[in-house]
Amino acid sequence: MTEEPANEGEPIDDEIIALVSDYLDGALPPDRRAEVEQKVGSDPDWKRAHAELVTTREALSGLQKARAPGSFDQEVTGAINRRSAGRFFGRRTLGDRVPFGVLLAITLALLLVVGYFMRSSMTGSLKRGPEPDPSPGPGSGSAPLIPRP
Amino acid sequence: MSELERSLLRRLRDRDERAFRELLELHRDRVYNITFRMLGNRAEAEDVAQEVFISVFKTIDHFREESKFSTWLYRVAVNHCKNRIKYLARRHDRDRDELDETSHQQNGATLGAPIRAAQPDRALEGAQMERLLQEAIGNLDDDHRIVVVLRDVEDLSIEEICEITGLPDGTVKSRLHRARLALRKKLQRHV
């Protein structure tokens, strides 16, 4: 600040700060902008608010840009590999989300196909044998199967 | 969104490690600067910045390309910072303003251009101002800190800040005013 505006140290109305802040952000319509410019040029409080906000903003934008450490990339990719046991990098067959619905439908269809083949196969375990003959055969009835001595 | 960015996203979705390294190359310093200015501590900032990239990589399929990729990335960064601030507050960790001896020693290596020996007074003045500002930012509450870091440190537009924070224009502006007012009061005696 080259010029020491009047009322140094006295509080400035928050509304003045808000308008000057908007003015500095270029967020005011042209008529309001001209109004603020006029007040900054003539009113000591507005002038002080403007000077202080400009200085604050310049100080903030002048902060040095912190740079990530040199090992940053390696650490991030290392962490990804560690946490995913190396599975993260490299395309996944099914993508990130497992399509449980689709997998269930495919499994059911496969079961149906397998069931059908087992049923129609001559040797399949689901093949029904010939119906047992309900009529008694010769020698059946009350005759003992094992002759008594 | 540029064609280059689209292609990078496509490759990221295909889990291409080289694309991920390109992403880091493009954005790591800015993300790190945001996390550092938000948290005021290098170790925390590095840890959170790493988590940001890991989250981005894990959830890249959720990015719908409705905004710029950088906007989405900064949103992830801001959310991680907010969570970490809450976590640190819960732990009553008062060690946010890490501009300790170690970081001072590291400043030449990790921050901007080296300080010129020919201007020791100006260098000292700069380092003091840096410390003062970081302390002042750290003393803001996190809602105000976010907007002032994004606007005045990172020079993002109000519109972009609205997208990142999900706040309406008026709220962002009023938080910005209050943050600047608080900073102005803190710096008044020094600037």
In a domain, A147, yes or no: no
Domains: count for chain A: 1
Testing the interface with A: which of B59, B159, B180 to mutate, by most A Cβ within 10 A? B180
In a domain, A35, yes or no: yes
Please write the tens of the pLDDT for every residue from B28-50.
Answer: 999 999 999 999 999 999 999 99
Other CB atoms within 10 A of residue A64 CB:
15
Residuewise pLDDT in 10s, chain A (149 residues): 444 444 556 677 788 888 999 999 988 999 999 999 999 999 999 999 899 889 888 889 888 889 999 999 999 988 888 887 766 666 555 555 567 788 899 999 999 999 888 878 776 665 566 666 665 555 555 555 666 66
Hey, are the CB atoms on B110 and A53 less than 8 Å from each other?
no
Hey, are the CB atoms on B153 and A67 less than 8 Å from each other?
no
Structural contact between residues B52 and B76, judged by C-beta atoms closer than 8 angstroms: yes
Which of chain B's residues have a Cβ under 8 Å away from the Cβ of A64?
107, 111-112, 130
Domain range enclosing A55: 14-61
Rounded to whole angstroms, the Cα distance separating B99 from B96 reads 9
In a domain, A110, yes or no: no
Predicted ipTM of the assembly: 0.74
In a domain, A50, yes or no: yes
Q: By the CB < 8 Å criterion, does A113 face chain B? A: no
Q: Which residues contact B99 (CB under 8 A, 6 or more apart)?
A: B40, B130, B131, B134, B135
Rounded to whole angstroms, the Cα distance separating A42 from A54 reads 17
Amino acid letter for position A63: L
In this prediction the pTM is: 0.70
- All structural domains of chain B, each given as residue ranges with its CATH number in brackets, are 1-98 (1.10.1740.10), 119-191 (1.10.10.10)
- How many residues in chain A? 149
How confident is the model at residue B114, as a pLDDT?
Answer: 39
In a domain, A41, yes or no: yes
Hey, are the CB atoms on A72 and B50 less than 8 Å from each other?
yes
Q: Which residue of B has its CA nearest to A8?
A: B188
Q: By the CB < 8 Å criterion, does A53 face chain B? A: yes
